[in-house]
């Protein structure tokens, strides 16, 4: 069984000792949220204080950050922790994007599909798997000079998890991400009758 717990995010001085205790207690990993605090900083502290536990954002809000920014943060966290980082992404709802982050809103599922594809394209370019050349409706990345390529590390590119509730985002999660992160209010009935069939159909493609 895989068991995760959360980290304290309100004071970075508490993170290292908390993460070490979590690891000693046998947890699989830790996750952070983007509510009152940045979701990445606590994971950076936890990563250098531990050796085994997985480190997940659960989740980081996607659209206020360029995929290039998310790719850079994810790469650095994975490189510094031996590949233990998973980039958990979520779209948030329209009012938060427009009124809290001042980000233009559009249909979230197609945009998220491109977001994940773009992040993976950036990582692939940094891994040496060809020139960066991603062009979509929402995102376009075609420039990557050597000065901006981070140092390589000996582990796969980070995994990507996606928060998904409705059918469209669940389909994106199945087809583009490595894990679907479900809402805490999800019932067993909804899971069995709605979520699993959509995920199964997407995974079969």
Asked whether residue 125 is assigned to any structural domain, the reply reads yes
Residue 185 pLDDT grade (very low, low, confident, very high; cuts 50, 70, 90): confident
Helix (H) or strand (E) holding 182: none
Q: 3-state class of 19 per DSSP?
A: helix
pLDDT at 39 over 90: yes
Specify the number of domains making up the chain.
1
Asked whether residue 9 is assigned to any structural domain, the reply reads no
Asked whether residue 32 is assigned to any structural domain, the reply reads no
Asked whether residue 138 is assigned to any structural domain, the reply reads yes
* CATH code for the domain of 165: 3.20.20.30
The string of pLDDT tens digits covering residues 4-37 is 999 999 999 999 999 999 999 999 999 999 999 9
Asked whether residue 50 is assigned to any structural domain, the reply reads no
Q: Which domain holds residue 93?
A: 59-203
Q: 3-state class of 202 per DSSP?
A: helix
Distance CA 190, CA 73 (A): 34
| Residues 103/63, Cβ–Cβ less than 8 Å | yes
**Residue 205: per-residue pLDDT:** 78
pLDDT at 61 over 90: yes
**Residue 203: per-residue pLDDT:** 92
The string of pLDDT tens digits covering residues 83-132 is 999 999 999 999 999 999 999 999 999 999 999 999 999 999 999 999 99
């Amino acid at each position: 069984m895989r068991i995760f717990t959360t980290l304290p995010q309100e004071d970075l001085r508490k993170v290292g000792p908390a993460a070490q205790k979590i690891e000693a207690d046998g947890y699989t990993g830790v996750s952070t949220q983007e509510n009152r605090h940045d979701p990445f900083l606590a994971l950076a502290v936890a990563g250098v204080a531990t050796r085994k536990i997985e480190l997940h954002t659960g989740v980081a809000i996607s659209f206020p950050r360029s995929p290039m920014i998310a790719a850079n943060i994810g790469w650095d966290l994975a490189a510094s922790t031996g590949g233990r980082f998973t980039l958990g992404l979520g779209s948030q709802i329209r009012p938060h994007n427009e009124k809290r982050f001042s980000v233009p809103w559009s249909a979230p599922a197609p945009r998220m599909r491109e977001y994940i594809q773009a992040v993976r394209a950036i990582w692939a370019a940094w891994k040496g798997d060809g020139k960066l050349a991603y062009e979509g409706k929402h995102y376009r990345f075609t420039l990557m000079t050597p000065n901006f390529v981070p140092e390589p590390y000996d582990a796969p590119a980070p995994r990507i998890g996606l928060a998904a509730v409705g059918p469209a985002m669940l389909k994106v999660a199945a087809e583009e991400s490595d894990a679907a992160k479900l809402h805490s209010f999800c019932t067993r009935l909804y899971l069995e009758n709605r979520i699993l069939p959509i995920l199964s159909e997407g995974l079969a493609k």
